[in-house]
């Protein structure tokens, strides 16, 4: 009985240990936007500034800067953007795009990266966003569920989720 109790206690202690930060090589590379959700749907609708078609994320060592490469459709044409961000002490990345942004990586798996972004636009309006990036076109059910959990946790209605991958016809080459 004591061994069982000790095993339970050790299991709980190990579960409370902070998870190691993902390595930059695991995060850097080609990523595509699968889903995005926002508290302000205007930001993620077609032709909205955050209806984005991601292509790559590059973390520079020692992980203090990040570069996002993506497309946004302007009048039906794919326009490429490269945005650079700077890491802050709290593991957020600050970047300027359609206002001020604080981006944080929440979950990483073999084929998915789930992030959270807060945008403060030029008028001072705050928009909360959750983003699901994939290594390819396949979405794993457990990663999608983590994305939906984060979306609910941030107070964003599930009906605000946009399936970006369905409308992605922007160039994929470097």
If DSSP states are collapsed to H, E and C, what string results for the chain? CHHHHHHHHHHHHHHHCCCCCCCHHHHCEECEEEEEEECCHHHCCCCCCCCEEEEEEEEECCCCEEEEEEEEEECCEEEEEEEEEEECCCCCEEEECCCEEEEEEEEECCCEEEEEEEEECCCCCEEEEEEEEECCCCCCHHHHHHHHHHHHHCCCCHHHEEEHHHHCCCCCCC
Overall average pLDDT of the 53-62 stretch? 86
State residue 60's pLDDT score: 79
Residues near 155 by beta carbon (within 8 Å), at least 6 away in sequence: 39, 128
- Domains annotated for the chain, with CATH where assigned, are 32-167 (2.40.128.20)
Q: What percentage of the chain reaches a pLDDT higher than 90?
A: 72
Residues near 144 by beta carbon (within 8 Å), at least 6 away in sequence: 35, 132
Contact yes or no for 32/55 (Cβ under 8 A): yes
What is the pLDDT of the chain when averaged over all its residues?
86
Q: What does the pLDDT look like over 148-159, one tens digit per residue? A: 999 999 999 999
Q: Is a pLDDT exceeding 70 seen at residue 26?
A: no
Overall average pLDDT of the 21-40 stretch? 82
Overall average pLDDT of the 137-146 stretch? 96
State residue 138's pLDDT score: 93
State residue 61's pLDDT score: 64
Q: Is a pLDDT exceeding 70 seen at residue 85?
A: yes
pLDDT band at 173 (very low <50, low <70, confident <90, very high): low
- Lowest average pLDDT, out of 5-9, 19-23, 39-43, goes to 5-9
> How many Cβ atoms are within 10 Å of 16's Cβ, its own excluded?
7
pLDDT band at 91 (very low <50, low <70, confident <90, very high): confident
pLDDT band at 90 (very low <50, low <70, confident <90, very high): confident
């Amino acid at each position: 009985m004591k061994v069982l109790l000790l095993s339970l206690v050790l299991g709980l202690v190990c579960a409370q240990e902070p998870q190691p930060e993902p390595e930059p090589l695991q995060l850097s590379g080609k990523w595509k936007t699968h889903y995005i959700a926002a508290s302000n749907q205007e930001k993620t609708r077609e032709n909205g500034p955050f209806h984005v078609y991601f292509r790559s994320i590059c973390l520079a060592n020692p992980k203090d800067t990040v570069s996002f490469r993506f497309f946004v459709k302007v009048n039906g044409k794919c326009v490429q953007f490269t945005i650079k961000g700077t890491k802050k002490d709290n593991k957020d990345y600050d970047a300027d795009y359609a206002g001020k942004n604080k981006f944080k990586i929440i979950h990483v798996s073999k084929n998915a990266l789930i992030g959270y972004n807060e945008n403060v636009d030029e008028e001072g309006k705050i928009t909360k966003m959750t983003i699901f990036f994939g290594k390819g076109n396949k979405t794993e059910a457990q990663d999608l569920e983590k994305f939906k959990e984060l979306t609910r946790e941030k107070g964003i209605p599930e009906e605000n989720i946009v399936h970006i991958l369905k409308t992605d016809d922007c160039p994929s080459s470097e």
